[in-house]
């Protein structure tokens, strides 16, 4: 009798769960952005959110929860009900970087989240002040070796710290890391001549280069940028494993039903393929990206291992 009752309850629960998934979504969806309004993640989330709202027939509300390098917002999503109605807008800095730079990350990336889809990526660029004597990476290295410990770099994000520490390690130079709350603050000091060099996103770097405030020495990603065709990649210059990209993606709490994850992936990929979306991303120096949940998961696992190796090889102290 007890077995029959248990079987009936289980069947009823399974039926209700299946119905809820088929009925998804039947209320507004929240996109939690772990950075401030106006950030690249925020603008990208609002653009994609608007398009999937139209296709899903429900409002998609963007909520900003900045702080602690993005981990506050990410942690909030990790603790949310896994029903597809609360999603995270993740970036390298808020997902992979905390796993390798923090002694005790507030979440375990591939345990507490299920990747849904990548939506955009951008190259990183190594820049110096317009009046810097360095006109190439070779010049920068030579200058740093002439005066060890005098040069500085802007440490405004965990990803930027990782790429600069790898550069220092491979070039055999010593540059002092100067901490900033964000890349914009670091760029202000670079332009004012208070910093030697800094990595920056393609969009921000291009604006300052075109305005004559800075100059680019190298692209920190695998391929040259169409926006800066004359600027070589670090790989071309002989540096190894220099493939640093800033990307943005959507994640759901672990335990979110696969049917919901696949539905969201389908709609997000459709949105990212729209000419209007691709053009707006291009205007922000972003490339629209489409992926499966598995491909996104593989990206997260691969980059976590890659950056953990940099932390170990460069002897970076975890905070």
pLDDT in tens, 56-72: 999 999 999 998 889 99
Alpha-carbon 274 to chain mean position: 21
Q: Over the chain, what is the mean pLDDT?
A: 92
Tell which CATH classification among 3.40.190.10, 3.40.50.10860, 3.40.50.150, 3.90.1150.10 matches the domain 123-219: 3.40.190.10
Write down the pLDDT at residue 21: 60
Write down the pLDDT at residue 15: 44
Tell me whether domains 2-122+246-313 and 123-219 share a fold. yes
Report the pLDDT averaged over residues 110-128.
97
The structural domains of the chain, with segments of one domain joined by +, span: 2-122+246-313, 123-219
**Which fold, 2-122+246-313?**
D-Maltodextrin-Binding Protein; domain 2 (3.40.190)
Q: Is the pLDDT of residue 12 over 80?
A: no
Write down the pLDDT at residue 68: 87
pLDDT in tens, 72-118: 999 999 999 999 999 999 999 999 999 999 999 999 999 999 999 99
Write down the pLDDT at residue 270: 98
Better-predicted residue by pLDDT, 283 or 31:
31
Going from the C-alpha of 258 to that of each of 79, 195, 227, 263, the distances in angstroms are: 18, 48, 39, 8
Write down the pLDDT at residue 1: 52
pLDDT in tens, 240-295: 989 999 999 999 999 999 999 999 999 999 999 999 999 999 999 899 999 999 99
Task: Compute the distance between CA of residue 185 and CA of residue 37 in angstroms, rounded to an integer.
Answer: 17
pLDDT in tens, 150-201: 999 999 889 999 999 999 999 999 999 999 888 889 999 999 999 999 999 9
Write down the pLDDT at residue 9: 41
Q: What is the phi/psi pair of residue 104, to 5°?
A: -130, 85
Does residue 123 contact residue 200 with C-beta atoms inside 8 Å? no
Q: Is the pLDDT of residue 11 over 80?
A: no
Task: Compute the distance between CA of residue 120 and CA of residue 241 in angstroms, rounded to an integer.
Answer: 21
* H or E element in which residue 246 lies: strand 245-253
């Amino acid at each position: 009798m007890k077995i029959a009752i248990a079987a009936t309850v289980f069947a009823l629960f399974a039926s209700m769960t299946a119905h809820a998934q088929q009925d998804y979504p039947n209320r507004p969806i929240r996109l939690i952005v772990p950075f401030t309004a106006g950030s690249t993640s925020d603008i990208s989330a609002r653009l994609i959110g608007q398009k999937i709202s139209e296709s899903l027939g429900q409002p998609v509300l963007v909520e900003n929860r900045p702080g602690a390098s993005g981990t506050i917002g990410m942690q909030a999503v990790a603790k949310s009900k896994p029903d597809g109605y609360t999603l995270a807008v993740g970036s390298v800095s808020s997902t992979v970087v905390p796993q390798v730079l923090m002694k005790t990350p507030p979440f375990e990336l591939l345990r507490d989240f299920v990747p849904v889809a990548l939506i955009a990526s951008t190259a990183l660029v190594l820049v110096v002040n317009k009046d810097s004597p360095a006109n190439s990476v070779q010049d920068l290295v030579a200058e740093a070796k002439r005066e060890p410990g005098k040069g500085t770099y802007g440490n405004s994000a965990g990803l930027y710290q990782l790429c600069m520490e790898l550069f220092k390690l491979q070039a055999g130079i010593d540059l002092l890391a100067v901490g900033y709350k964000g890349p914009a603050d670091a760029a202000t000091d670079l332009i004012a001549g208070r910093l030697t060099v800094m990595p920056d996103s393609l969009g921000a770097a291009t604006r300052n280069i075109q305005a004559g405030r800075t100059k680019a020495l190298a692209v920190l990603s695998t391929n040259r940028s169409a926006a800066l065709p004359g600027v070589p990649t670090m790989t071309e210059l002989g540096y190894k494993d220099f493939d640093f990209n800033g990307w943005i993606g959507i994640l759901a709490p672990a335990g979110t039903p696969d049917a919901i994850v696949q539905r969201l992936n389908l709609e997000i990929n459709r949105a990212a393929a729209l000419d209007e979306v691709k053009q707006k991303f291009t205007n922000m120096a972003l490339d629209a990206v489409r992926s499966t949940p598995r491909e996104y998961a593989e990206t997260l696992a691969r980059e976590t291992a890659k950056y953990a190796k940099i932390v170990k090889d460069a002897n970076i102290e975890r905070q």
